Amino acid sequence: MIPDFVKEKYKAAIALDLQEAEKLVLQTCSEACLGSVFIIIDALDECNESEHRRPVLGFIQRLREIQRVRVFATSRYYPGDIHHAFCTDPRIAVKANQSDLTKYIAHELQGSDRGGLIDDVLATKIAESLLREAHGM
């Protein structure tokens, strides 16, 4: 069940700044009608560290203080602020293997419309370069 105040914000189609979004999420999480609340944050490492990530990490910490809230965040490994924020939490390391990457790149290069711009030799060089620099991502 989605609280009415969330529906109203959605219908208004107004972009929220971080403070407004935080207030809306915290208000939603405190609704008595909700049981457990699961919040998923993807690609945390892609937030600009000084401008956005510090406030987002602070917000995540405030969310984690609410008993019924569970946070699942994804990020590349960063030894700094993200590592520190989640240092006591369980982690799942996901790393692609060379075979998976090779299949994926081959599929993407075969399935794309190259428009005559990329011949097989160049496609092979692109694939080799991507595989060499991917480092399991």
pLDDT at 61: 92
Q: Could you tell me if 72 and 26 lie in one domain?
A: yes
pLDDT at 120: 81
In a domain, 116, yes or no: yes
In a domain, 23, yes or no: yes
| pLDDT tens-digit map of 96-114 | 788 888 888 888 887 666 6
**DSSP element (H, E) containing 70:** strand 69-73
CB 73 within 8 A of CB 95: no
Q: Could you tell me if 62 and 122 lie in one domain?
A: no
pLDDT at 41: 93
List phi, psi (to 5°) of 70.
-120, 130
Q: Could you tell me if 22 and 67 lie in one domain?
A: yes
Q: Could you tell me if 49 and 75 lie in one domain?
A: yes
| pLDDT tens-digit map of 84-93 | 999 899 988 8
| pLDDT tens-digit map of 40-84 | 999 998 888 878 898 999 999 999 888 889 999 998 877 688 989
Parent domain of 126: 98-134
Q: Could you tell me if 45 and 109 lie in one domain?
A: no
In whole angstroms, what is the distance from residue 116 CA to residue 85 CA?
48
| pLDDT tens-digit map of 30-43 | 776 778 889 999 99
More confident residue, 14 or 1: 14
In whole angstroms, what is the distance from residue 124 CA to residue 118 CA?
10
CB 75 within 8 A of CB 107: no
DSSP 16: P
